[in-house]
Amino acid sequence: MAAEKTIWKKLIWTWKPESEFEAGDSIVRNLLLHWFPSKITFRSLSYRYSFWLGTASAILFGILTVTGVVLMFLYVPSVERAYASIKDIEFAVAFGWFLRGLHRIGAHLMVAVVFLHAVRVFLTGGYKNGVAANQNRPLNWIIGVVLLLSTLLLSFTGYLLPWDQLAFWAITVGTNIALAAPVVGEQTRFLLLGGNTIAQGALIRFYVLHCVFLPMLVLLLFAWHMWRIRKDGGLACADQLALDQKQEKAPPIKSKTYSLLGIAGTRTVHVEAALVDEDRHATPASPSLTLRLLVVILATVLLASLMTIVVEAPLEEPANPAVTSNPAKAPWYFLWLQELVADTTVRVGGLTLNGALVGGIIVPGILVGLLLVWPYLDRSSVRSAGIWFGSDRWRQNIVFLIIVLAILILTIVGTYMRGPYWGLYWPWETWPDLPRKF
């Protein structure tokens, strides 16, 4: 070893793991990494199983926290100042456009990535328990559903803050859907807005929810989510390895004793894990997991930064309750609902079917309800846990995919094909120019 290399190592590292055991130990003892396993299966590590979408969600949340805290120094949550402070961020603050753009793109990406993560988990049967003791993946799935809803709310509350026409009318559309809820509709909207109109009361409520309560909630739920994954013995795909081993009737696994020994020593965290032949199927988390994590972090930051440069963050005219923006659209992730509301408002003879109730409350209510209980209704075998398109889950996967596809199509129609007066336009048709003052 060259001398300078030794000096470099001496400057950077106080200690270097000498064995696999020490490598695992280095993870478990690290403040930032202690919630990782000391060893991880190749399957869990692969891109093809999870696409690392959950991790990407967490990284996006991190990006949003950092950029959001800086934005808090620049943004003023008052009806008089909010819009102007965003304009200042765009035009006068050094790198302000990038800061705001990254926060905005990060938020959009996070909604999309969290959604895709949930889709991945469903299609792999990731919410199913495997073979190890004390697993409760259905609970983790429920935590996930709450995370999804919190992410949507987080993005929705942030949408109002620029206080421009886009924000104002999107929140108007969004909160009007709440009105359609039977009995509690009006109160819910009142509670959310701090009044009957979108004014200062609503702005400060959304601001506090957006900057304090919802991020804290997501952080807590995320910690719980990760803790559950450890208690569940890692990702569901690892259980398949254990099942394979049982079939092979492999001799008792060395690592079993290894793990039991751990109770007294350093490997306690491993005790509840599904027991797989670690020599064959697993690798020390340091450096395999840490390197992979770094790849995913860099890829996510890179993607978000590039998109920030390419996609301009919109900022329309200042909010004006007297002038409805045309078309008035909810944020894109609720556009499938708005589209549903528009499409389910039908008049049969003298009877008007209230679209807001069907499209805005009943359909999403049923979907969320189904999501919450689905792990308990899914009776497929343990062989379908942690496997893409498990063979005895094909029916539910197809139904699920159809629903996902319907949501995507409605979202695309609502986003790209609804022009002024909610008219339907093909993507190649240009929307008519709306008249202007001058």
259 near ligand HEM, rule: CB under 6 A: no
Q: Which candidate, 148, 147, 127, places its Cα nearest to that of 139?
A: 127
The footprint of ligand HEM on residues 357-416 (CB under 6 A) is 386
The span from the CA of 210 to the CA of 207, in Å, is 5
Q: Which of residues 187-226 bind ligand HEM (CB under 6 A)?
A: 218, 222, 225
351 bridge partner residues: 348
Q: Is 182 in the site for another protein (CB under 8 A)?
A: no
Query: For residue 318, what are the β-bridge partners?
Result: 164
Of another protein, ligand HEM, none, which one does residue 75 interact with (CB within 5 to 8 Å by kind)?
none
Identify the residue among 69, 80, 254, 409 touching another protein (CB under 8 A): 80
Distances (CA, A) of 176 to 173, 181, 192, 330, 362: 5, 10, 11, 10, 15
* Minimum CB–partner distance for residue 48 and ligand HEM (Å): 12
Helical pair 96-123 and 285-310, crossing angle rounded to 10 deg = 130
| Residue 295 found at the interface with another protein (CB under 8 A) | yes
Contacts of 309 (CB under 8 A, 6+ apart): 98, 101
Q: Using H for helix, E for strand and C for coil, what is the string for 49-93? A: HHCCHHHHHHHHHHHHHHHHHHHHHHCCCCCCCHHHHHHHHHHCC
| 98 is a site residue for ligand HEM (CB under 6 A) | no
* Interaction between residue 98 and another protein (CB under 8 A): yes
User: How would DSSP label each residue in 373-434?
Assistant: HHHHH----GGGTTSTT-GGGHHHHHHHHHHHHHHHHHHHHHHHSB-GGG-B--TTSPPPPP
Stretch that binds ligand HEM, among 28-36, 52-60, 397-405, 411-419 (CB under 6 A): 52-60
Could you tell me the smallest distance in angstroms from the CB atom of residue 175 to ligand HEM? 23
Residue 288 binds which of another protein, ligand HEM, none (CB < 5-8 A, kind-dependent) = another protein
Residue 43 beta carbon to another protein: minimum distance, rounded to whole angstroms = 12
Residue selected from 43, 104, 137, 418 as contacting ligand HEM according to rule CB under 6 A:
137
Which of 147, 203, 282, 361 is close enough to bind ligand HEM by CB under 6 A?
Answer: 147
Query: What secondary structure letter does DSSP report for 164?
Result: B
What are the DSSP calls for 303-337, one per residue?
A: HHHHHHHHSPPP--SBP-TTS--SS----GGGHHH
Residue 293 binds ligand HEM (CB under 6 A): no
- The residue within the footprint of ligand HEM, chosen from 23, 28, 53, 209 (CB under 6 A), is 53
Q: 415: Cβ–Cβ under 8 A, 6 or more apart, which residues?
A: 329, 332, 335
Site residues for another protein per CB under 8 A: 42, 45, 80, 84, 87-88, 90-92, 94-95, 98, 164-165, 287-288, 291-292, 294-295, 298-299, 301-302, 305-306, 309, 314-317, 322-323, 326, 433-438
Site residues for ligand HEM per CB under 6 A: 50, 52-55, 57-58, 61, 114, 117-118, 121, 124, 126-127, 137, 140-141, 144-145, 147-148, 151, 218, 222, 225, 229, 235-236, 386
